[in-house]
Every structure is written in structure tokens, then in C-alpha cells.
Amino acid sequence: MITTVLAQDEFVPVYGTGPLLLIAVGAVALLLVLIMALRLHAFVALILVSLLTALVAGIPVADAVPTLLAGFGTTLASVALLVGLGAMIGKLLEVTGGAQVLADTLVNRFGERHAPLALGVASLLFGFPIFFDAGFVVFLPLIFSVARQFGGSVLIYALPSAGAFAVMHAFVPPHPGPVGASEILGLGTDLGLVLVVGLLIGLPTWYIASYLFGRWIGRRVDVPVPSLLSDEDGDGGGGSTLTRTGQRTAPKFGTVLSLLLLPLVLILLNTGLNTLATAGVVDGDAATVGALRLLGQTPVALLITVLVAMYVLGRERFSRAEVEKIVNSSLGPVCAIILITGAGGAFGGVLRTSGIGDALAGSLSDIGLPAIVAAFLIATALRVAQGSATVALTTTAGLIAPVVGAQGLSPLQIALIVIAIACGSTVLSHVNDSGFWLVGRFLEMDVKTTLKTWTVMETLIGLVGFALAFTVSLVL
């Protein structure tokens, strides 16, 4: 059975601006009630609200489901590949001890005085392919070990690391938030640009809001090193791995660093060649240039990195069957995030087709609110209300997409809006956010202490990042 998808320009809205905006407000309110009050899973809630919104907004019954599926499928087309491949890279590095090698080497080279900086830099590198919660848990034994060795509040060492994972997770592809928002806003083919902008804004944001704040608050709030995850076997948290022969091995620092930099180099190569081709410096139609640009497409770059990592990390440590088992185990934890991101894309597709997005675009234009400011404020409101950064990010992208399209913004300006949405979805992590409890419980802090440390740091990350993105948007 073949179904035709209703194009946005084929549907004539049946309501005026006022009713459409009320429908949008009602849809978001219903979404919050379902997730927060009724504890309905975010994926189910987004699909249900998307379908109801389509029907209430007047999209014909026969076209409601195809419209929803079009938004869902378009978003997943890029998100599923990138998140899945990124998770595989992270899992291989985690299981083979790459995380510990990275942290230990950098701590030794930076020295005692700069140990928090070393842990933060290691977390930034390791945070490229691995999600916040998984990366932070992997690094916790290393953080506790360094804190016991050098002394002081564990916050001095934990917050720069946790902040690094949070920044990379929110700002940089291949993480689902920036990938999903980029796809919804029409930057699916320009993820290299989002990566560059995310790094240029994310790195100084991390240094100011996480590293400097972590050192400052750590001197004022003394949190002892928790006994949780104590290293009883002297292994430093299990960084090395056992081979089939029983010998403990771990990848070399250069190997780990090369694997983490490989996809970055390939993606940036594609971005650079695109820029040169647009400027007429190189022939974009030349076979050699085309082949190099193909290698730098984000899915291809990550695929190459997965294949290299499977060979380099697995050849002396695991059998082929064991390597297959490791990469397979990486996919389960990310399925929920992939589906929620796709559901956010479905919601965005319904908003665009129904005319709700255009109504919002017109309203923002009338009051003179820049798209980047509106994106940040909407994401902040959704983040505070329901806690999930992914839901806040994808829902905001769907709401703001018609505004972006109507204003004819450049890819760079859209990339800055993606970062602004990520910033809004980061601020004010509190009791309805799983990350709040993850950090608080692992560091054995009470709610009050978690609020004045972790919550403040997350809010600083969002505010500093948005201030940088907004400043750059003003000079473009």
C-alpha cells in the first residue's frame, strides 16, 4: 500500500493565527501533563500529541498519519545512523580501557595542579562519541582516584568532567540533540558546520562555566570523596581489559587519541572542501574532491571510525564474536533516545504542515523577537517544565523551524540557533531531570548541595553558551 504525504504547501490552514497559536500552547501543555503528571513515556506522549495536534489543526484524517510518519522518518534518517555509530565507538573505547588511558595520561602530563583540567580535557575528548550519563559513570572511578590522590573537595575534579560531558552531549554531533535539531531545522547535510560551531562555542563555555566554576565552588563546598565505586583491586576503576590469555592490556594513549580525532578530521575535511567549492577555489564536481567529501560525510566518517576501532582495539584483546557482542550491547541504551528524537521530528512535521509554525513565525516577527532569542526562551521553558533535554530540544526545533525558514537565514545563523536551543535545554537542571539525580547520588550530595553546585553549573553552561552564540549572531 502506497501512501502520499501531504506537502506543507498543499495544506491550507483552516484556522487563523490566534486559534493556531492556542492549539500550539494546548499541545505543549498536554505534552507536559502526559510526561510529568501521568508519567507517560516521552516517546508515546510525543506521538500521541502529534496525532491529536494534526487532527485538531484540521489536517485531513487520511493525511494525519502520513504527515506524522514523514516528520518521524526524515529525522531518524540521519539521527539513527549517527547516534548508533557514535555509541559503538564509545562502547569500544570504554570496554577496552581507553577512557582510563586517556585520563591517566593527561593527568600525568598536566601534573597535580592541573589535574581537574586534565580530567576535563579527557572528558571532552571521550565525550565526543559517548553520552553524558555513560561517560560520567565510566569516569567516576578515575575522578575519585585522582581526588583521593591529590585531596580537596571531589567537586574540584568531578564538575569539570561532568560539565565536559554535558557540553559535548548538548552542543556537538553525533549526539542526538544537536543532530535532531539540525535535521528539523534543515541542516541535515551541514552537520560539519554544526560541529565546528558547537566546538567553537562549547569549548570556551566549558572552560568558563564548568572548569573555572568547578574550581571556585569546590573551594567553598567541601564534598568528601564518596566510598562508592572505591577501587578495591588497585586497578584504578577497571581501565585495562582481560584478554583471552589472561594478560591485562590497554590501548596506548596515541591510539585512543587518534581514534577520537579521526571522525573530527574527516568531518572537518568535508566542511572545508564544501567551503572551498562554494568559493570557487576547488572544483566541487571533480572526482577526487567528491570522494574526499564523501569520506567526510558524518555517517561515513563515523562508519570508518567504527571499522578502524573494531580492528585496532579488538584484534589483540577480543575475538571477532566478542567484538560483535560489544558493539551490539551499545545499541540498547540509545534506542529510547533515538525514538524520542524521531518523535520530536514527527511533532515538528505536524506543526509545519498544519500552519502552526507559520503562525508562530508571524507572531514573533510582529513583536520583533529574534529567532535565536525565541529558540533559547522556548527551550528553557520546556526544559524547566519537564526536565528532559532531548524533549525540550526536539520540540523547540519543531516549533521554531518555520520561523527559521521564513527569515531566510544562512546555514551559519541556523547553526547558531541550534546551539541556542541546546543552551536552553541545558539550563536549570533540577529534580525532574535524571541527570540531577545521577550526579547528586553518585557524589553523595543532598538535594540542597546538588542545587547549588550541579544546577548552577548547568545554568551557567546554558547562559554562557547562549551569550556567545547570540554575540556571534549579531556580528554576522
- pLDDT band at residue 277 under the 50/70/90 scheme: confident
- pLDDT band at residue 352 under the 50/70/90 scheme: confident
In this structure, the answer to whether residues 265 and 167 fall within a common structural domain is: yes
Q: Does the pLDDT at position 9 exceed 80?
A: no
Angle, CA 400 vertex, CA 399 and CA 406 arms, to 5°: 125
Among 332, 354, 378, the domain-final residue is 332
Among 292, 311, 332, the domain-final residue is 332
Asked whether residue 447 is assigned to any structural domain, the reply reads no
Query: Per residue in 123-159, pLDDT tens?
Result: 898 887 777 877 787 777 778 878 888 888 889 999 9
Among 286, 308, 332, the domain-final residue is 332
In this structure, the answer to whether residues 67 and 154 fall within a common structural domain is: no
In this structure, the answer to whether residues 221 and 292 fall within a common structural domain is: yes
In this structure, the answer to whether residues 146 and 228 fall within a common structural domain is: yes
Average pLDDT, the chain: 81
Judging by beta carbons within 10 Å of its beta carbon (0-12, 13-18, 19+), is residue 137 exposed, middle or buried? middle
In this structure, the answer to whether residues 105 and 229 fall within a common structural domain is: yes
Coil, strand or helix at 130: coil
Q: What average pLDDT does this structure show over 241-254?
A: 59
**How many angstroms separate the most distant Cα atoms in the chain?**
72
In this structure, the answer to whether residues 62 and 95 fall within a common structural domain is: no
In this structure, the answer to whether residues 321 and 357 fall within a common structural domain is: no
Query: Per residue in 109-127, pLDDT tens?
Result: 877 788 889 889 888 988 8
Amino acid 41: pLDDT:
84
In this structure, the answer to whether residues 56 and 139 fall within a common structural domain is: no
Top-confidence residue, 342 or 214: 214
Q: Does the pLDDT at position 35 exceed 70?
A: yes
Query: Per residue in 75-102, pLDDT tens?
Result: 787 678 877 887 788 788 778 877 778 7
CB contact at 8 A, 29 and 378:
no
Q: How many CB atoms lie within 10 A of CB 373?
A: 16
d(CA 65, CA 353) in angstroms, rounded, equals 12
CB contact at 8 A, 193 and 270:
no
Q: What average pLDDT does this structure show over 337-341?
A: 76
d(CA 74, CA 68) in angstroms, rounded, equals 10
Q: Give the rounded percent of residues in the chain with a pLDDT score beyond 90.
A: 17
In this structure, the answer to whether residues 364 and 297 fall within a common structural domain is: no
Asked whether residue 218 is assigned to any structural domain, the reply reads yes
In this structure, the answer to whether residues 39 and 135 fall within a common structural domain is: no
In the block, residue with C-alpha cell 524547566: 384
The number of domains in the chain is 2
Asked whether residue 1 is assigned to any structural domain, the reply reads no
Asked whether residue 449 is assigned to any structural domain, the reply reads no
Asked whether residue 256 is assigned to any structural domain, the reply reads yes
- Predicted model pTM: 0.72
In this structure, the answer to whether residues 314 and 386 fall within a common structural domain is: no
Amino acid 330: pLDDT:
79
Q: Does the pLDDT at position 105 exceed 60?
A: yes
Amino acid 7: pLDDT:
52
Asked whether residue 6 is assigned to any structural domain, the reply reads no
Asked whether residue 117 is assigned to any structural domain, the reply reads yes
Angle, CA 163 vertex, CA 157 and CA 167 arms, to 5°: 155
Asked whether residue 378 is assigned to any structural domain, the reply reads yes
In this structure, the answer to whether residues 374 and 264 fall within a common structural domain is: no
Q: Which of 265, 290, 130 is nearest to 195 (CA)?
A: 265
The full length of the chain comes to 476
Amino acid 243: pLDDT:
40
Give the structural domain span for 125.
Answer: 79-332
